[in-house]
Structures are given as C-alpha cells and as structure tokens.
Chain A
C-alpha cells in the first residue's frame, strides 16, 4: 500500500523502451525521492516505537528473563527455567492476592462507571452553574493519591473514624475495617471510586455531547420517554467511550497499589492486613521483589499480572463488543 504514495515519475515502465536513459543526476534524485517516500513514514512513527521499545518492550522481555532465574539482591543466580512459576501456582498468598485484586476491581469499577454514567447524563442537562459543576467533578482526580489514602484511612479508622461514628448513631457496633476482606475491600474501593468517578463522567459527557440532537428530537416526536432515550440512543452512541473507560479502569484496578498500601498500617503494611486481607498483586510483587529481594519470583508475579490484565482486557473487549 506504500506504493500508492510513490510519486509518479518518468521512469515508470510506460516510457517507450527506445527512449534515451535519463541523465544520471535525475536518476539519483529519483532514487532518493523513492527511498524518501518509502521510508519517511516509518521515520515519522519511529520515535514512539523507539521509546516504546526502550521503556515498554525491553523491560517486559528483561523481566521475563529475570523470572527464569534465581535472582536476589546480589545479582543473578542460576537459570531455573519455569521453577518460579511452578512455585507461584502453588503459592496460596499469590492466589489470595489475585482474589483480592479482582474483588476490589469489581467493587471499584462497576459502581464507579455506573455513577459516572448517571453523573454525566445529569451534567448533560441544562442546569445553573454548569461550568462549576463540571469542574467540581474533576477535583478528586487532582488530589494526590497519598492524600486520598491518608484521609480515607482516617475516615475508615476503627476507633475514631467518621464512618464508625455515623454507624454508631444507628447503634451499629464499630467495624474493624482492616480485619475482614469485605470491609477492607469496601474502604479501598471507596477511595478508588471517589477519585475516578468524575474523570469517567467527563469522558462520558464529552461523548454524549457529540450525539446529534435530532436523534433525541425524533425520539421525542415518536413518544419515547427520557429513560427509553437514554438506553436506546445515549448508551449505543457512547459505546466507544464506554469501552475505553472499562478497559482503562480494568488496567488501573489490576495495578492497585498506593491506596491499599496506605490503608495498611505499621511497618509491615505491604502485607495488606494481618491475614493479607487486602494485599493486591502489585503489593505482593513489591513484597517479594523489594522486601524479600527475591527478584526472580517478583518478576514471575509481574508477568502473571501482565497476562491476567491482557486476558481481562480481551474479555472486556469481547463482552462490550458482543452486547451490541
């Protein structure tokens, strides 16, 4: 298809064979321009691929290489093939981390995208102070993750937390949020939801605003209710935005790290609770690689994470595509 880009020059075979050969200078310039036309596009896209190669592909490959070795802080030990992966598959802490990560992913993504959708359709109405509201929903994303983690850890504190205080008004016993899976997941998912709902709402809003008005007008003329319009016009029209947010939230959710780390406490916070109630995959990887200095094992975890994310992204993609 690159041939289409080539300039049509006199050298093409339409010339009669008897024509005298073009002067050498002309032929050189011609060749340069052909090379130019053929390779320049590659050169233009090269920066991305070079940077991706250095910062994306190479670490990926190198991590795979490390994961096949016994590799501690003093450097590479022996090649041990897939041993790290074999250990990993029998490691209850790893599967616990997978469960925690996926659990928090569901708790964080589903309500988040749902509320974002509701929020976006509200912001798409004619309201007073619309600009202010639209800016307001973006505020959480500007807040630093660490600040969110610290503040929410206080809110979900067992002894002096606001949530337990409110529950106390209804004479509900204070909850030790860090002690159980459900409670710690809820607390952490709340942080994620608080931070990202507005961002997703704005993406939906942008998509909604590009839907032609006449579709709604026609639907109104046909007697379709607002809710019917939302499901039959709005949702199908913003499908690409939906797909984008689902995949991006999934990837971010699989890499959840800072919120649970700050939510955990004490000098061994990386274990995510006394029984690893909320240790995510990234936390487990960090614990193995940078606390126990088992780089080989840590790399194996990193690769499993990569595969899981890819798998989930594909599944998401298929589901979101299929339900057309």
Chain B
C-alpha cells in the first residue's frame, strides 16, 4: 500500500468517526405553532405520571405534555440548579427533591407563587409539614406542592430468607427487627448459613435510612449551622452502620451503579431498606424473572421519611398558568393515588393515604404485600427532618467515607474524621 492510499484510508476512517460522533445530539422542543401548548415536565427517577399525562391531555385539548427524565437524582440536581440560575432550560414544571428544597427556599423568586394560582384552597390536601416545607416562613408564598413522601419499608428476598432458615412471612420478618440492633443480629444469623448472598446491598443507603430516624435535623441545625460533629444522632447512625459493616453483612455495592442493578437480578443481597419510591426501581431492576421473590416488611427503628418530592413552576416558564394547573392536577389526591399505583410513590395527601384504594392496595410483584398499609403505618410515625443547604453534598462525602471503610481502606475513626473534615471544608 502506498503512502497516499494509507492517507486516504486514514482520512475516510477519520471522516467516518466524525460523522458517527456528530450524529448524536440535536433534538429539542418547540411549540408546534398551531395553537397547542407543550408543557415540559422535568423529573428524575420514576414519578409514574404517564397515565396521568394522557388523562390531562384528553381533558385539556391543545395541551401536550412532554416529560424529560434524568435517571439519577445526583445527576438531576446540579442540572436543575443550573437551569434555574441561568434562567433557561427548566421547562414548565420541575420536580424538586426535599434534599435540595432548602436551597431553593432561600431564593423563592425563581418559582411561581402557587398561592396566586389558587393553591391556598388545597392546603388541607397535604400533610401539614409537607405543605410547610415548601412555604416561606411567613406563609405568603408556596413554591411547590407535595407529591410523595419517602415512607419506609424493608424489602427482602423470601427465597434467600427461606434458604437461610429465616421466617418468610412479612409479619414474622417484621418482628425479627424492632430495632437496628435486632437487624444486625438477624444479619449475623443470615450470614452463618452461607447462602452466597450478602445481607444488604450498600452501607450508604442503609446509613441514610438510619440517619433519617435520628430526630428532627441531621447535618445542620435549624439556623443552618453545621452540626455534623455535635449532633449525636449523626454519630449514632454512623456507628450503627459501622457495626453492620464490621459484621461483614454488606455486599459493598454502590447504589445506582450497574453492579447494583445486577445484584437485584441475580439475588446478590437479601434485604434493602426501601423507601416507597424505591419499589418501582426494585421491580424494574429485578425483572419479571424475580417476580414474587421480593416482599416488604416494616423497617427497623421508628418510621421516618427518606426522600419525597415537590412539583414547582419556575418563573422562567412561558405557560405559568397552565403549568400551575397541571401541578395541581398531578398533586391532587387522585393524582397521588395514580402515581402510587403506578410506581408506589407514597402519597403526601391525607385523603389519598386514607383512601381505600391505597389502604387496600397490594403489590403483586412484591408477593402481594399490602404496601399501602405497610407504608401508611410508617407515614403516621413520620416527623419532618430539617435538612439544610448542602446536606446532599455532605451526604455524598459521608457516603464515600463509609465506602472506604467497606473497602477496608480506612479505619472507622479515620473515615469519620475525614467525613467531618470534608464537610467543614465544603461549608467553609
């Protein structure tokens, strides 16, 4: 082959690569211009709104709803912050997870006051603390309406429990672990039987659940002062988690990673603390072949909230009135019940919680567990937890420290000191 044909080969191949890379991207939305309005809804994870959109579109001719979803909350949050700060890209309705809500409450001007759109009359439709979370302190402005609350359960694999000689009935399983210490003891029993599976998936997820049961605040006190090292609740949750790690019960799998997804499929772990919104993820990742192998029991400790979201209308929306209408529709008791049935996002509306459709709802994928009742019981014990501005970022760092302990790279004390130090440097 001559030099020239080598070059020609090189050129064509490079050209091919160029075309291949530039072929992705593009797309984008625009109003059709024929009188229809497109409302863009930004969500993360799974909100279970597909059927509700269809219903809304049918009842409102001329309105098209387009949901733009980002899978991981960790990817969604910085994007949302960017859209809002730059004044473009947020669409018409945005989902706000409670962890980041505090930050936005500091700048309520970025959102439409839903009281101006008749939300005031709906106050009784929400748990009181849920309503208050998204209202300014003087109550003159409401930036978001509650969707779900992260009611807690403990999901477990009945087949693995049976193999380890543990009870499989959800009532009996719940009685195994009134406290986290009992959960640890159960884990040790499970481990002795060498089923080949770990007792739980990841210490970071477990830690988050324990943490949310420790009183009314976590890393910040209510005046937004960093109290990570002086709040005994944080240290207690940490120590409790470390005990579980040191007993060798963790599968050491990072949540939301491909290995985590694989772990669901091939039964890599026997339990996972599951806030209501996680049931949809578990079902999706475990796949139809594992149908009926999962069940839901009560969570150790006293019920607490982990996660839960709001819908808000950013002021940059060009269709604020229509968007506010859509928010009211999606967060209505009826909308919340539908979302619960679709993805088990547990309602924040007392009417929806007490509704027979929720109370009597059983989830066929989870061995017909009466998830409506299990989560309903947990919700009644709920107390709101104040999170503070950088709680997500601090949580990431504490999670990394826990992972380092799991990997055997740091001793628990070193890891704790590192987490506290990183939190301090972050807040400055």
Contact = CB atoms under 8 A, between A and B. Distances in A.
Interface of A: 73-74, 130-131, 134-135, 138, 141-142, 144, 150, 153-154, 157-160, 176, 178-180, 202, 205-206, 209-210, 265-268, 271, 274-275, 290-293
A205 B204 CA distance: 51
A73 B404 contact: no
B72 interface: yes
B1 A134 contact: yes
Given A274-B401, A274-B404, A274-B407, A290 B78 contact: yes
A306 to B, nearest CB: 24
B71 to A, nearest CB: 10
Contact of A267 (B6, B20, B255): B255
Contacts of B401: 274
Contact of A266 (B2, B81, B255): B255
B90 to A, nearest CB: 13
Interface of A is mostly: loop
B34 interface: no
Contacts of B107: 74
B113 to A, nearest CB: 20
A188 B92 CA distance: 40
Contacts of B357: none
29 contacts: A73-B85, A134-B1, A134-B9, A135-B13, A141-B17, A142-B20, A153-B258, A157-B258, A178-B407, A179-B409, A206-B3, A206-B6, A209-B2, A209-B3, A265-B254, A265-B257, A266-B74, A266-B254, A266-B257, A268-B74, A268-B396, A268-B400, A271-B400, A274-B409, A275-B404, A290-B78, A290-B82, A292-B426, A293-B78
A154 B17 CA distance: 24
Nearest to A178: B407
Q: Max chain B CB contacts within 10 Å: which of A74, A141, A291, A292?
A: A291
Interface of B is mostly: helix
B194 to A, nearest CB: 17
Contacts of B75: 267
Q: 7 shortest A-B CB distances, which residue pairs?
A: A267-B74, A265-B257, A266-B254, A274-B403, A179-B407, A268-B396, A274-B404
Interface in B8-41: 9-10, 13, 16-17, 20-21
Given A73-B85, A267-B72, A271-B400, A291 B393 contact: yes
Interface string B375-406: 00000000000000000010010011101101
Interface string B261-284: 010000010000000000000000
Nearest to A265: B257
B401 to A, nearest CB: 7
B400 A274 contact: yes
Contacts of A73: 81-82, 85
A180 B268 CA distance: 23
A159 B260 CA distance: 11
B309 to A, nearest CB: 16
Contacts of A210: 3
A160 B258 CA distance: 11
B179 interface: no
A134 B2 CA distance: 13
Nearest to A131: B1
Contacts of A266: 74, 204, 254-257, 399
